[in-house]
């Protein structure tokens, strides 16, 4: 009887959507700790460059006029929020940017979770999407916050919506629009990646 009880309990936990939320929360806590301990290593040269460009924008400088950087400008604007907090409150640039990325990741995960739950999929189907986000987020520490990382995060909801639409699941117009906007922002950071999802 005890064996059956614990076996049933284990199956209930595995099949529960809440387990994914718990796992994601734990990985985010791990990331917050890892960033606090190793933020100077995780904060790459590219991230620092684009953060500095955002600071220059906030100080009134114009891209390609007052400073020269050859990438599309959207990545500068993506960095405006952490750069503003850095300037206003004298916070560490690397910490404020990396924790900003933790918040972005959390919002993307929640949005993706809601899309999949609202589509009324079986948990066994959509857990794969969510676990993929979790694993992706904790295996890219060497490139955490770089443009490729940001692009993948921002196009995830779009890819989920696209897959569900292909399988004839009902998706609200608002959800589709928001997913499309996020994907558009992501791909505008590096427009040549657009060909990969066409």
39-56 per-position pLDDT tens digit? 887 898 899 999 999 999
Q: Residue 26's pLDDT is what?
A: 84
Q: Is the pLDDT of residue 4 over 70?
A: no
pLDDT band for position 137 (50/70/90)? low
**Could you tell me which residue, 150 or 12, shows the higher pLDDT?**
150
Q: Rounded mean pLDDT of 69-77?
A: 92
From 11-15, 19-23, 88-92, the region with the lowest mean pLDDT: 11-15
b/e per residue 78-90 (b: at least 16 CB within 10 A): bbeebbebbeeee
Q: Rounded mean pLDDT of 111-115?
A: 88
Q: Rounded mean pLDDT of 161-189?
A: 92
**Could you tell me which residue, 172 or 137, shows the higher pLDDT?**
172
Spatial CB neighbours of 104, under 8 Å, sequence gap ≥ 6? 150, 153
Q: Rounded mean pLDDT of 122-142?
A: 65
Spatial CB neighbours of 115, under 8 Å, sequence gap ≥ 6? 157, 160, 161, 164, 171, 175, 179
pTM equals: 0.84
Distance CA 186, CA 83 (A): 19
Say what the alpha-carbon torsion angle 172, 173, 174, 175 is, to the nearest 10 degrees: 50
Q: Rounded mean pLDDT of 132-139?
A: 68
Distance CA 25, CA 138 (A): 12
Q: Residue 15 phi/psi, 5° resolution? A: -85, -5
């Amino acid at each position: 009887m005890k064996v059956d009880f614990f076996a049933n309990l284990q199956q209930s936990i595995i099949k529960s959507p809440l387990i994914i939320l718990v796992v994601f929360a734990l990985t985010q806590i791990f990331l917050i700790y890892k960033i606090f301990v190793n933020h100077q290593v995780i904060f790459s040269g590219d991230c620092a460059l684009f953060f500095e460009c955002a600071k220059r924008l906030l100080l009134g400088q114009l891209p390609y006029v007052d400073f020269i950087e050859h990438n599309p400008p959207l990545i500068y604007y993506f960095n405006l929020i952490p750069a503003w907090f850095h300037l206003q409150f004298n916070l560490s640039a690397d910490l404020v940017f990396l924790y900003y990325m933790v918040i972005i990741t959390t919002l993307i995960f929640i949005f993706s979770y809601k899309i999949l739950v609202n589509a009324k999929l079986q948990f066994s189907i959509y857990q794969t999407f969510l676990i993929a986000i979790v694993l992706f987020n904790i295996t890219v520490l060497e490139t955490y916050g770089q443009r490729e990382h940001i692009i993948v995060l921002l196009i995830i909801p779009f890819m989920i919506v696209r897959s569900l639409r292909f399988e004839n699941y009902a998706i609200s117009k608002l959800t589709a629009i928001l997913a499309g906007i996020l994907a558009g922002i992501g791909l505008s950071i590096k427009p040549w990646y657009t060909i990969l999802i066409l």
